[in-house]
Structure 1
Amino acid sequence: MHSQLFAIIDVETTGGGISGNRITEICIALLKDGEEVAKYTTLVNPEREIPPYITALTGIDNEMVADAPRFFEVAEKIEEFTKDAIFVAHNVSFDYNVIRGEFRLLGQHYNRKKLCTVRLSRKLIPGLLSYSLGRLCDTINIPHGNRHRAEGDVDATVILFQRLLSLDEDFSTINSFLNARSKQATLPPHLPAEQINELPEEPGIYLFKNQKHQVIYAGKAKNIKKRVLSHFYDKKTKEYHLGQETHFIDYELTGNELLALLVESEHIRKHYPKFNRAQKWPATTYQIISYTNQRGIIQLALGKTKALHDSVSTFYNKTEAIEKLEALCEAFKLCPRFCTLQSNVEKCSHYRIKNCEGICEETETVESYNLKVEAAIQALKENKPTFAIQGKGRTQDEIAFALVVEGQYKGFGFFDRSEAICNIEDYEPFLKLQPASYHTHAIIRSHLKKHGERNLVYFEPLRLSASPLEKRREDIFSDWNM
């Protein structure tokens, strides 16, 4: 290892995410036996405009790079200069991925072993408040002139790396970081490897947090450790930025996937994490509502809302909502016109519903019709199911559950297998109350569609009627659609 060649590299870029980043300047210093043996530095024409905020940071503007070589003109030099070297940089994933991206645009593959001086510094110089290059140099007295220019940053990183080499005389730390199985260079620079090593390989949720311990991403997984690592191996720009901002990872075991989905949904609602996209905005729902018109007739209609008021009559797309309202209308012999299934007609003439008893022609009394509407509304209320979905807990002796009371998600919890759970009240001591939302309803609904009544415990008897109409009503009012 003492004769190993190390290439200390820094690039300045145009910004714009990993895939859009083009190099404006590159500097490479070669170290052998701990001493600098060669250096190469050049401006690069990025073949695109340099944004003003980048110029303000680096001092490199469009005029400076106008006559500089383009990357394809220096690619062979960079390839040869670093051919037998280990790629070293402060926050190595950034510089390495930008250079690989430039080679990829030329149809070439660039591959080197790599070391991150941020991660090495965390391991060999623990306990510092900041491991940014500027702060680190100030803390351990490394001269750092010409900051945010490639050569100035490389000169400082060379001295830093020499210090790190002196602290790792037997190369045990560096060798462990170079071990292909360790994937140290792939991990975010600010995240201690110990936090990754301590992650469980079980179902649950995980939270990425920034330096201020604010949640910036919430996720769920069947295997927490495997899923967390997959974020860091992903080369997408979003995943890269997520890694750059992650300083801490927390997790919560749930025992099974359903609870993981429900707990993830609650964290997204509660923390509104920067890097989550799904579930951050309330979805449009459709609900059956009732009102009395000028003739005193109780009308039914679909109300469009982003709030979840009554889960039994809540639907997730307009087609499904209309189908449910049609079925309700047919089952109770209601008029399609007064269920807003037809408009601009005096007399109903629905293509399928033919059993209207004449309210639209005034051959049925308002009182008689309203009684049927009230019965339909009452049937909606009476058919709010109460049940628990039980599943695998966090240990072999534990059972996990999600609870729905009168059609509304109430929360989740865990109880020991030795507990006698006979009625709905028995869940209360173990229940962690959670707010119901469109997303929690959709999660449970999807679970029931996929798994049916397996592991489902009802706490009110199913009404089994011999009447086909009654059976039809059961189908209509079971909003969970198992």
Structure 2
Amino acid sequence: MYAIVDIETTGHTNKITEISIFIHNGEQLIDEYTTLVNPECSIPPFITNLTGINNAMVANAPKFFEIAKKVNEITENCIFVAHNVNFDYNIIHKEFKDLGFSWKRKKLCTVRLSRKLIPGLKSYSLGALCTTQNIVIKDRHRAKGDAEATTILFEKLLKLDNNQQVFQSFLNPKSRQATLPPLLSKKIIDGLSSNTGVYYFKNLKNEIIYVGKANNIKKRVISHFYDKAKKEVNMCLETSNITFTETGNELIALLLESSEIKRIYPKFNRAQRRSQESIGLFSYEDRNGIKHLAFNKLKLISNPLLKFYNTTQCREFLEKLCDEFELCPKYCHLQSNVTSCFHHQIKKCRGVCSEKESVALYNLRVSEAINSIQFQNQNFVIQESGRTENEMAFILILKGIYKGFGYTSKKDFSTSVKNYIDKLEPHNDNNDAHRILTSYLKNETSILNLNTENYEETESFDLFSA
């Protein structure tokens, strides 16, 4: 038995506005259930323009909890069938989960079935398939119209699969066919590496839409397919290819992922997409000998301690630094036009602003704070595992600035910086790279100090200003 399903939703919130279920026994239709659903939220105008369903139409329609019993009963002991099955299934599954009910069905996707049984088409959207297969869609973008068209397509697919080998292979839980994105070949998943590295999700235009890193690339990629978050579902629906780069270790995977996100600006990556830092943190000493931590536009600072995307991010960092080292917000330029800072009143500042702490003791803590955010050595390489047994990876730091990474033979490790330049893959130093490296160095000691004698850094490697 098959339950061929289509739903319409509110779009952004993915609440159901209409559901249609056609029950098919493999030979003919035996039942059908269609109803509008009150989503208990407003339907956006662009969704109304697409489906024709407006707020007035669903105002008196049953809410999902009122039809949940019917949906459960009519689909019981049925295989759940839909075009882009994970979309419809995940939304209905979430509706049941919100009601505290565990609802599970086997799944079949008519997109994946069509790609297997009707190969070579430019598009496998429902509209395109119906055009090529001479299927008339009545009432497009309404649940009943699309479900009816999917049912006719399903019947054609059944006939094309004479001995049902394709259907059975897709239903085999070991095949993962039901969980894979509709546009993605199983061969691509089988070909993924189980090693550490960076992976790239690509759409039909071969555009990179997501970049991620993983200690086990294949395992992490597959986990995306089981994620029910809306962003993940939409990303997987667009994914038609996945490529990867092995890095040999997690540190380079983190650095490469961050760099690639800034270079490519993938559609589904939110964090780390900004590439232009605008604020710099610096230190200076005033006429009273008190060390200040301050910030300004990056272009106005010759040697910043750290770089930030905006003032808010810089202030948040400074606030944490103040709390950790009991620094005075007045001399960190977080509070202005005050004689004594507010933190002194709540005993978070020791009182340098009220002359209750010596300048020498305060300056010592400022120095400790600065040291905590700087690399303790200015010229060194971090040694890490390579991609093969005889290979070693290195991350190069010169004058306290991250320059990039590369790979070399284990026997070629040296203290001379020249030995690493030719094998270096340059990458820009930025706040995210600094954060990744600082966090790593707090827990690891696999570094090799470099001898920079007779080496003069050229402009091409002056990535700090990039």
**TM-score normalised by the chain length of structure 2:** 0.79
CA deviation vs aligned residue, 1:325-373 (integer Å, no higher than 9, x gap): 999xxxxxxxx99xx999969x9946143499xxxxxxxxxxxxxxxxx
Q: State the distance in 2 between where 1:321 and 1:101 align.
A: 42
2:448 alignment counterpart: 457
The reply to whether residue 288 of structure 1 matches residue 282 of structure 2 is yes
CA deviation vs aligned residue, 1:40-84 (integer Å, no higher than 9, x gap): 222333343332222211112233334433333433332222212
CA deviation vs aligned residue, 1:129-184 (integer Å, no higher than 9, x gap): 21110011112322222111112111211121122222322222222221223332
Q: State the distance in 2 between where 1:82 and 1:348 align.
A: 74
Of residues 129, 145, 166 in structure 2, which corresponds to 1:136?
129
In the TM superposition, what are the counterparts of 1:140-151 in structure 2 within 5 Å?
140-151=133-144
Computing the radius of gyration over CA atoms, which structure comes out larger, 1 or 2?
1
What value does the CA root-mean-square deviation take over the aligned residues?
A: 3.7
In the TM superposition, what are the counterparts of 1:176-191 in structure 2 within 5 Å?
176-191=169-184
The aligned amino acid for 1:351 is E
More off after superposition, 122-131 vs 85-94: 122-131
Tell me, what secondary structure is at the counterpart of 1:189? coil
Q: State the distance in 1 between where 2:410 and 2:151 align.
A: 60
1:478 alignment counterpart: none
Alpha carbons of 1:457 and 1:97: their partners in 2 closer, same or farther (altered >3 Å)?
same
The aligned amino acid for 2:282 is I
Tell me, what secondary structure is at the counterpart of 1:148? coil
In the TM superposition, what are the counterparts of 1:82-101 in structure 2 within 5 Å?
82-101=75-94
1:12 alignment counterpart: 8
Of residues 388, 391, 407 in structure 2, which corresponds to 1:414?
407
Q: State the distance in 2 between where 1:38 and 1:59 align.
A: 25
% identical equivalent positions: 45
The reply to whether residue 304 of structure 1 matches residue 304 of structure 2 is no
Of residues 353, 357, 377 in structure 1, which corresponds to 2:359?
353
The aligned amino acid for 1:7 is A
Tell me, what secondary structure is at the counterpart of 1:181? helix
Tell me, what secondary structure is at the counterpart of 1:186? coil
* C-alpha contact 1:389 1:457 (8 A) present in aligned 2: yes
2:55 alignment counterpart: 62
The aligned amino acid for 1:448 is L
* C-alpha contact 1:203 1:254 (8 A) present in aligned 2: yes
The aligned amino acid for 2:103 is Y
Q: State the distance in 2 between where 1:114 and 1:265 align.
A: 36
Q: State the distance in 1 between where 2:137 and 2:71 align.
A: 24
More off after superposition, 161-170 vs 192-201: 161-170
Tell me, what secondary structure is at the counterpart of 2:79? strand
Of residues 193, 197, 201 in structure 2, which corresponds to 1:200?
193
1:161 alignment counterpart: 154
The aligned amino acid for 1:97 is N
Tell me, what secondary structure is at the counterpart of 2:105? coil
The alpha carbon displacement at 1:416 in A equals 2.4
The aligned amino acid for 2:265 is Y
More off after superposition, 66-75 vs 131-140: 66-75
The alpha carbon displacement at 1:460 in A equals 3.8
* C-alpha contact 2:290 2:359 (8 A) present in aligned 1: no
Tell me, what secondary structure is at the counterpart of 2:200? strand
Alpha carbons of 1:146 and 1:448: their partners in 2 closer, same or farther (altered >3 Å)?
same
More off after superposition, 276-285 vs 132-141: 276-285
Tell me, what secondary structure is at the counterpart of 1:9? strand
The alpha carbon displacement at 1:456 in A equals 0.9
The reply to whether residue 79 of structure 1 matches residue 72 of structure 2 is yes
Of residues 424, 428, 450 in structure 1, which corresponds to 2:421?
428
The aligned amino acid for 1:167 is L
Q: State the distance in 2 between where 1:311 and 1:127 align.
A: 58
The reply to whether residue 106 of structure 1 matches residue 99 of structure 2 is yes
* C-alpha contact 2:197 2:214 (8 A) present in aligned 1: yes
* C-alpha contact 1:10 1:89 (8 A) present in aligned 2: yes
Tell me, what secondary structure is at the counterpart of 1:48? coil
CA deviation vs aligned residue, 1:456-482 (integer Å, no higher than 9, x gap): 111149xxxxxxxxxxxxxxxxxxxxx
The alpha carbon displacement at 1:223 in A equals 0.7
More off after superposition, 151-160 vs 173-182: 173-182
